[in-house]
A and B are shown apart, each in its own frame.
Chain A
Amino acid sequence: MSETRLRLVASQGAAAPKGAPAGKPAGDKRSDLRVVEHRRRRRPAVVASTAVLSVFITLFAVAVFQTMLMQGQQHLDNVNRQVSTAEAYYDRLKLEVAKQEAPANVITRAKAMGMIVPDKITYLTPTGAAVMEASTATETPVGSDDDSGLPAPGSSWTVTKPFVTGSDG
């Protein structure tokens, strides 16, 4: 009804020429006619569509966000599983290395490669005089990494060799 009224007002306004004197007959208590701007009607369908679309987009965004969150969490779970697996693998490798390094295993592997355990072990032992001479001749230089207390190879060997005797162990 209001639209009808507006249309009516507009048409009345349009009927009056612009610039016409605003006078009105005496006794006419109606208010003055005036020009009103035409307002376009909002179409309900558009509004509804927009609302539906907005809701859809919002829900879709939430779904996408949730999916991404789930994917992220799954990735995190996978990474955690991989860490656990890698740690267990590391532990197993550590154990394997320790087993391989064990003296009994070294002997077994050496025998498998054709080596044999000697009947007697001959140690080369410098005599007392050699020890004295070697210790004098081969002073370990300051800052040397050699903390074994043994004569350095090369220079000391020529000094020590004549005194070395073999002994059976």
Chain B
Amino acid sequence: MTTTQFPGQAHRPLPGWRPGRARRRLVVMLAVCVLLLGVIVAKVAMLQTVDSSHYSSLSEAQRVRSVTLPGSRGIIFDRNGNELAISVPQTTIWANPKAVVDPAGEAAVLAQFLGIDVKTLTERLSSDKEFVYIERQVDDATADAIVKQKLPGVYSLKEPKRFFPAGDLAKGVLGATDTDGVGTAGVEQTYNDLLTGEPGELVSERDPNGRTIPDGLRESKPATPGDDVVLTIDRGIQFNAEQYCIEQTIATKGKGCIVIVMDPRSGDILAMANVEWNKGDKTPQVSKANLALVSTFEPGSVNKVITASAALEEGASTSETIWTVPDRKKVADEEFTDHDPHPTAKWTLGDIMTRSSNIGTIMLAQATGYEKLDSYLRNFGLGSNTGLNLPFESAGRLRPLSQWQGSDKGSIPLGQGVSVTALQMLGAYNTIANGGTYVAPRLLKGTIDSKGKMTASKPSATRTVVSSKTASQVTSMLAEVVSSKDGTGQAAAIAGYQVAGKTGTARIPQQSTGSYVDESGNAHYMSSFAGFVPAENPQLSVIAVIDDPANGFYASQVAAPLFAKVAQYALRQLHIPPSANAVAPAPTADVAAIKAGDRNDAPAPDTIAAAAVNVATPANQTSTANQTSTGNTTSTGTGARPGTTGSTAPR
């Protein structure tokens, strides 16, 4: 047998080499490879079919990030477009404790910037949660400083924070929001739904460094900002009203002050100033509470305008009717008096109003009928909310006629035994200013949506309360109160303008004694002046209320000048021209010029009688009706009301 030998070919097979064994090895290797390949194919099949959703979701969790886009809270503007409340993004510092390396060390660093004690911060950084707030909405400088530290596990995010750029201006009206931007008081609470934006969402795929993966998933739902709210408030008038309120509270040593400025025609509230002393304050401050709505008081003589209107409207009296008015009168078991003793006088309705005669007013109420008087009181807005829907608004207290007790028939026509808010009382004067039509107060001028479209709010609801003739007659009487030499409201006069208004000096019921005097036998007063200007064409109405003034307490001394100051500024601000037929009066006196004692009708406080009275209490308090006198020797009745013998009368 010939064997062909090629170059390079082994002459002999390798030792142990057998063709059969090699073949088997190849087969085994092939089988192993096929098996491995099969395993891989099977695994791939499993990944792509059975477990696909699970791994898909795990993968997405790694790549896909969802960011909530905050819907910014709307701005609150005044009527002229000035920002009263605005939201600005601030930095919130948060931490993932699981990513924090050294809780104590990082807490020590953070404490330097945040002013929070290290222990508290250490606890937060040692939490078993994955998200804890370290400090929310810190200022920019602090945030920058913390971010620069690059502390492991400590991060920052942007959150909107509410700011009130004008400081305390209209604080009680605007209210407040909590840290999450939810309105908790005032306008912020009432219009929270309007102001709150709708958050959006941005979903995108990101790499481990947080960078967006190009051409990856990206879904964006833009946030919708909340509507802006435009109030009827005028920032300038509001500021001046607050400043004058603070000045007058200091000057009169009062406990607080309320001033409301309105446009009687539309019911727009131009200013609502609330001032009070807070514990530890050296000067009175703008109150957090909207006292004009939540605080009730017995209005006193400012309420007589309702009694007079009812008498005229019901024909119980005309403006020319002569009334024979004594200086005292017994109603039920109590004797009421006029402020100043006088012989029985022949007075018209106008004279009764000008002199603020209690007895004359009681006679008018008797002639009108109490059922009708009750109806007018309610139609003028007493005893019910104004419809502003601001939180904690009080409806005041006006008991049903069936619950009027003996002396109520004498006191309620005078404005005692009934409690009102300042806004309710001004609403009654607006009714006269509007020719007998009640116009509900309005605080919301309109809203501006996210596209910038302004939607005006609906005009205020109206109702006719008295005829225009009656309103005109009452207006003339109110103008006399200010312009007449016998009028109690002379200090409310404004040069060049005819002012119509009425003073009210009402005793404040004392809860501690259940009467109108405190334990020491001293009376406390709520002094107010409500009116409108120009009387012939009312475009501005103002009520000024001083709570418990100690340096002079008559409304003619403390409230009327405040009215004049506020109204005078507002008239200029609103470009309201002077009255054509007004005689420019001599420069009006201010508080300093009218001193207690200048008026011969001002009794010294120590002569004030203690009175046992039916105290008008707020709705949430227990009535202390028919409590007996605590024993003041000057009281002649079985229990004297304000205006009764020996007491100072509401004026």
**Contacts from A to B (Cβ < 8 Å):** 66, 69-70, 72-74, 76-77, 84, 88, 91-92, 94-95, 98-99, 101-105, 120-121, 123, 125-128, 131-132, 135, 148-150, 165-169
In angstroms, how far is the closest chain B Cβ from the Cβ of A110?
14
B495 close to A149 (CB less than 8 A): no
A101 close to B82 (CB less than 8 A): yes
- Considering only residues 562-578 of chain B, those with a C-beta below 8 Å from chain A are 564-565, 568-569, 572, 575-578
A95 — which chain B residues lie within 8 A by C-beta?
83, 86, 88, 163, 165
- Considering only residues 468-506 of chain B, those with a C-beta below 8 Å from chain A are 494-497
Complex: how many Å from CA A165 to CA B581? 15
Contact among B213, B496, B577 with A167 in the assembled complex (CB-CB below 8 Å) = B496
A84 — which chain B residues lie within 8 A by C-beta?
158
Contact among A121, A126, A132 with B496 in the assembled complex (CB-CB below 8 Å) = A126
A103 — which chain B residues lie within 8 A by C-beta?
166, 169, 235-236, 239-240
30 contacts between A and B (CB under 8 A): A70-B214, A77-B211, A88-B89, A88-B158, A95-B86, A98-B86, A101-B165, A102-B165, A102-B169, A103-B169, A104-B166, A125-B497, A125-B578, A126-B578, A128-B496, A128-B578, A128-B579, A131-B496, A131-B579, A135-B580, A148-B575, A165-B496, A165-B584, A166-B587, A167-B495, A167-B496, A167-B587, A167-B588, A168-B587, A168-B588
The residue in A88, A98, A104, A149 that gathers the most chain B C-beta atoms within 10 A of its C-beta is A98
A72 close to B214 (CB less than 8 A): yes
Contact among B82, B87, B577 with A131 in the assembled complex (CB-CB below 8 Å) = B577
B495 — which chain A residues lie within 8 A by C-beta?
123, 125, 165, 167
Size of the B side of the interface (Cβ < 8 Å), in residues, is 46
A104 close to B86 (CB less than 8 A): no
Does B582 make an interface contact (CB < 8 A)?
yes
Nearest A-chain residue to B589, judged by Cβ: A168
Q: Quick one: CB contact mask for B576-604 with A, threshold 8 Å, 1 for yes?
A: 11111111110110100000000000000
Complex: how many Å from CA A104 to CA B243? 10
A123-B495, A167-B495 as given contacts; A98 in contact with B83, CB under 8 Å: yes
A102 — which chain B residues lie within 8 A by C-beta?
165-167, 169
Q: Is the interface of B mostly helix, strand, loop or mixed?
A: loop
Complex: how many Å from CA A167 to CA B580? 17
The number of residue pairs between A and B whose CB atoms lie closer than 8 Å in the complex comes to 114
Does B606 make an interface contact (CB < 8 A)?
no
A73 close to B578 (CB less than 8 A): no
B167 — which chain A residues lie within 8 A by C-beta?
102, 104-105
The residue in B235, B576, B587 that gathers the most chain A C-beta atoms within 10 A of its C-beta is B587
6 additional A-B residue pairs with CB within 8 Å, beyond A120-B590, A169-B564: A94-B86, A95-B83, A104-B168, A104-B169, A127-B583, A169-B568
B582 — which chain A residues lie within 8 A by C-beta?
127-128
Does B215 make an interface contact (CB < 8 A)?
yes
B211 close to A73 (CB less than 8 A): yes
Nearest B-chain residue to A130, judged by Cβ: B578
A73-B214, A167-B495 as given contacts; A131 in contact with B169, CB under 8 Å: no
Complex: how many Å from CA A132 to CA B582? 11
Complex: how many Å from CA A73 to CA B494? 69
In angstroms, how far is the closest chain B Cβ from the Cβ of A21?
44
Complex: how many Å from CA A128 to CA B577? 10
B86 — which chain A residues lie within 8 A by C-beta?
91, 94-95, 98
